[in-house]
Amino acid sequence: MAKTIFITGASRGFGKLWAEALLQRGDKVVATARDLSTLDDLVTEYGDNILPLQLDVNDRAAGVAAVNKAKAHFGSIDVLINNAGYGLFGTIEETTEQEARGQIETNFFGLLWLTQAVLPVMRQQGHGHIIQVSSVLGHATLPVLGLYNASKFAVEGLSETLATEVRGFGINVTLIEPNGFATDWAGASSAQTVAMPEYDAVRAAFQAGITDDIFGIPEATSDAVLKLIDSENPPLRLLLGSQAYPWVKQVYDGRIAEWESWKEISAAAQGK
């Protein structure tokens, strides 16, 4: 049965790829973008099955209006994919207040506003699936991506809590956690701080670890997303890419080992 999917950040990258994959199989898609001309090709190809809406996810009122317009147009919203976001490259000391606030505003608050906007619709329906595009960097971290890491850690905590709050309404929540993929996320879609020479070595080490072989093929993710949307019992978390699982496992194994080595001191801090 065809579903109605609301996707933010559908102008390019994962958002556009997934929108097209859904349209190809007959689903209805509400595709949002800041620049609607980026969706002209999908509108030409799929006509009434796509509703393009201009949206800056940082505008909370506009997000509510977009959700209401989508509900009025298609009658329901079965799935929300919170995909809009960008990467801010720069060390923490280099990051200005405006850059820091901008990163968290879009990646965290933009996602929160759309989540809040769609919840009344899904509660009234008695079903829904909220898919938050997080990152493997919501578990692990990389230097020069400190604010991006922080935004995704925040999305993880928010969404895990949300899942416990809305399960009784028939609403599922899933965090999609991709490793690196060959989109323009690190290119035209990204932002960059003004570099301090003191961190040149940190940046050089980061760049040395970025090789082409670690990046997945974006188009290959579509099948996984379609299967996730079709699942009757979707997972809370879904890693995407062959690099993600071993990296996350290594990170958590290290955390467990460290907690284990300090567990007696931790327990003594209870005081009783």
Q: Which residues are catalytic?
A: 134, 148, 152
Q: How many CB atoms lie within 10 A of CB 133?
A: 27
Cα of 160 vs its chain's centroid, Å: 13
Residue 144: strand, helix, or coil = coil
Residue 134: strand, helix, or coil = coil
Six-digit token string for 65: 């209006």
Task: Report which DSSP code applies to 216.
Answer: B
Could you give the CA distance from residue 192 to residue 143 in angstroms, rounded to a whole number?
A: 13
Q: What single-letter amino acid sits at 267?
A: A
**How does strand 128-133 pair with strand 171-178?**
parallel
**How does strand 171-178 pair with strand 88-89?**
unpaired
Could you give the CA distance from residue 237 to residue 234 in angstroms, rounded to a whole number?
A: 9
Nearest partner of 71 among 5, 21, 27, judged by Cα: 5
Torsion of CA 259, 261, 263, 269, to 10 degrees: -100
Backbone angles phi, psi at 90, to 5 degrees: 160, 150
Q: How many CB atoms lie within 10 A of CB 266?
A: 10
- Start-to-end CA distance of the chain, whole Å, equals 57
